[in-house]
Structure 1
């Protein structure tokens, strides 16, 4: 699981490197100004492009792999690898859906605002996690409630 999260970070870092280096949003500007929204739109589109390229590689690995291995150990290893590839592909599919949802929020004027409290999510949080839908505090409260309900 940590590896998949690390891969997401690598893909996001690659998308950030593809952005023009002449602008980075700051707290000194009006929150969610046109410049901010344009920056995040470009970042999200670059991130989506990177995820799709990685997904294409995953799909290619699945297509190239042998269907049956003669040795039982090799077959078990191949099936484990396939399972990991399929989980990775599912994570990528879900991430693309979240990126698309963030792009829709930009278009509707809701991007950058917490869906729970209505407060600003914050530029630094959005730079770190452009698909964030909640402030750090709201996210922590949500995770605590989720943990409590799982423990019941």
Structure 2
């Protein structure tokens, strides 16, 4: 699980590098001004492209042929690795849906605002998690309610 999250963070970091260092949203500008929206749009599109590129590589490896390890232990290890890889790609498929949702929110003028309270999410949180839909406080409250309902 930790490696899947690390892969997701690495892909986001790669997307941030591809957007470039010429601009970074700052608190000295009006919140979610056109420059902020443009930055996050580029970041989300670059993140999506990185995920799709990684998925294409996985697909190519799958098409190259089945696992043909003569040793049963090696074969089991390879099949486990493939299972993890496929689960990672499934998580990334779901992440692409969230990225598309964030891009839609940018176009509709809703990006950067909490879906629960309507308050600004904050540039720091959006920089760390560009698909965030809630403020930290709203997310924590949501997770507490979710935990309580699971325990019931």
1:46 maps onto 2:46 in alignment: yes
Q: CA deviation at 1:148?
A: 1.6
Secondary structure of the residue aligned to 1:133 is: coil
Structure 1 residues 82-126: Cα deviation after superposition (integer angstroms, max 9, x where no partner):
211110110110111111110000000000000111110001110
Give the 4+ runs in structure 1 shifted more than 6 A.
none
Q: CA deviation at 1:5?
A: 0.6
Q: CA deviation at 1:20?
A: 3.0
The count of corresponding residues between Structure 1 and Structure 2 is 152
Moved more, 59-68 or 16-25: 59-68
Moved more, 95-104 or 77-86: 77-86
Normalised to the residue count of structure 2, the TM-score between the two structures is 0.92
Matched-pair contact (CA < 8 Å) for 1:62–1:85:
no
5+ residue gaps, structure 1, are none
Matched-pair contact (CA < 8 Å) for 1:32–1:112:
yes
Distance 2:26 2:138 in 1: 22
- Structure 2 vs 1, CA of residues 22 and 69 (structure 1 numbering), >3 Å: closer, same or farther? closer
Distance 2:80 2:18 in 1: 34
5+ residue gaps, structure 2, are none
Distance 1:74 1:55 in 2: 24
Q: CA deviation at 1:68?
A: 5.5
Normalised to the residue count of structure 1, the TM-score between the two structures is 0.92
Matched with 1:100 is 100
When the two chains are superposed, the root-mean-square deviation of aligned CA atoms in Å is 1.5
Q: CA deviation at 1:57?
A: 1.8
